[in-house]
A and B are shown apart, each in its own frame.
Chain A
Amino acid sequence: MAATHAPATSPGVREPTRQAPARRRRVGVRAPWWFVVPAISIYLFIVVVPSANGALFSFTDWNGLRADWSFVGLDNFTSVFSDRTALDALVNTLTLAAAATVVQNVAGLLLALGVNSMVKSRYVLRVIFFAPVVLTPLVAGYVWSFLLSPNGVVNDALRAAGLGALAHDWLGDPDTALYAIVLEIVWQFSGYSMVIYLAGLQAIPAEVLEAATIDGAGPWSKFRRVVLPLLNGAVVINVMLCLIGGLKQFDQVMAMTGGGPGTATETISTAIYKSAFSLGDFPFSIALAVVMTVVIAVLAGVQFRLTQRRSS
């Protein structure tokens, strides 16, 4: 169903692009350069210039209020890397992003395989599995903090199943709080991964699968050797989206734990917000933002390299 919406990725429709320049020169369709001016202006104003300034100010003692500032070298980064909370936030963020990426992708792929099959209720199921995606993340966070509370549904269900020994305050326990947030993220966004995998699955030509069946491939080896390699593009996009989303995680943490107990669920985003707007420590906050940018860039680069190698 979604394949028709993605002409750019379908190899079959790529050809016209390559022929287009020749025809363009002949007829001379004019696309004026100044059409880009409004978009570029606001992009420069909102993204490029402030980001560049952010990178620059991380080497200064700029406090956000004064107009004057001076360079302090790596001082801000030294204080970030010697700060317990910031280091906890860094570790928590990486753990959360990694766990959410793995679980959400496995769940999303399984859901996609499930609702792509012959089951009669597949259209209704897709709508249900996707519904949490449109729900406001902050609101979903509150609902889950209620479900996971000591007398919430999760503990009730455990007690009803005779597993009462496992019931406890999921968000109040430093050992489980971070994973409770991962659970919420997986519930909310598995549907997102599902539709992308579904789009990938539906782009696989039926003949390829039939050929594999004729060659005697069982369901597992068909999945492993035919379906999964053809889903490479969907995997790349999904992993990238989950990873970047997880690394920026803010809303659910604010709703569910506010970063606690202690610093057990503090993420880089909540730490940036608190150090800037509660503690007024702009230099620290901006250095932490630079660290976050570097982490995202490095992980995105690593992922890109790995997937490039796999597809070649």
Chain B
Amino acid sequence: MAEPVLASPHAESKRPFLTEQRRSRFTAYTFISPFFILFSIFGLYPIFFTFYLSFFKWDALGPMKYVGFKNYDLITSDPTFWISFSNTLIMGLMGTVPQVFLALLLAVLLHSGMTRFKKTFRILYFMPNITSIVAVTLVFSTLFGNNGMINWLLNGIGVESMAFNSGWWGVKIAISTMVMWRWTGYNAILFLSGLQSIPMDLYESARIDGANRRQQLFSITLPLLKPFIIFVTLQSTIGALQLFTEPYVFLGQSGTGSTRQEGITMVTYLYSEAFRNGFFGTAAATAVLLFLVTILFSVLNMLISRSGSRETGGKKA
């Protein structure tokens, strides 16, 4: 006999099913749902499917055939894969390391008490980053031509011409230069915003203690800038591992795309395995290895930066 009491109209009007709290929760879930729906379909599912696919032989059309680790055997015994792997590392190193130092130098210069034209410099340094990589590559392919401007400059200082568009090192130098041109200014701006977040009174008190410019740089600026340095290095490393457009366009003059070995990278290898040769299984295995290398480098990066901070911490103590 308790039900009729509970179901009285009074109780119902006091606690309707759609309370204000429920309604606002429902609204919030609706507002964030587009991301989660799209990411499940075009992000999460493909990632798991790539791992799955790497154990199958498949041309994206016919039936899939389970082959176990054979795809991994196939690519690791393919010399071209290892060339693409070492090319990626070499170009990554050549493009990233000098880039971070140069960016740091430019940012420190821009920050060092000179406020004149700071905004103009920021815009000018940023301009390379807004251009498409295709356009950048086309421009640099003229500068790096056999009779191009870079060789003319080299001859001017008494260095012999280099075959930038076909030599083993030439191609790598040309491609790393494109990467550096595009990203150095961008990273300098990131460093600059990091420098601007350092409170000025730290420098004031250091100056009162008699610290000179060099001491200020090494005991205030660089340690406090460390999160930015880690971020930029990590982002550049990950970007370098995914190098595709520059080698593809730069070496694709014959219309066959980047199958030439001087500049083939892991992603161009992946691309030609899947979309030229129709080997989706080995391409998936390449993607998985690329992912593992990316994780490895990120972890290494973190470890190095952490041990670095322990050292400086030790010195201070």
Do the two shown chains form a genuine complex with each other? no
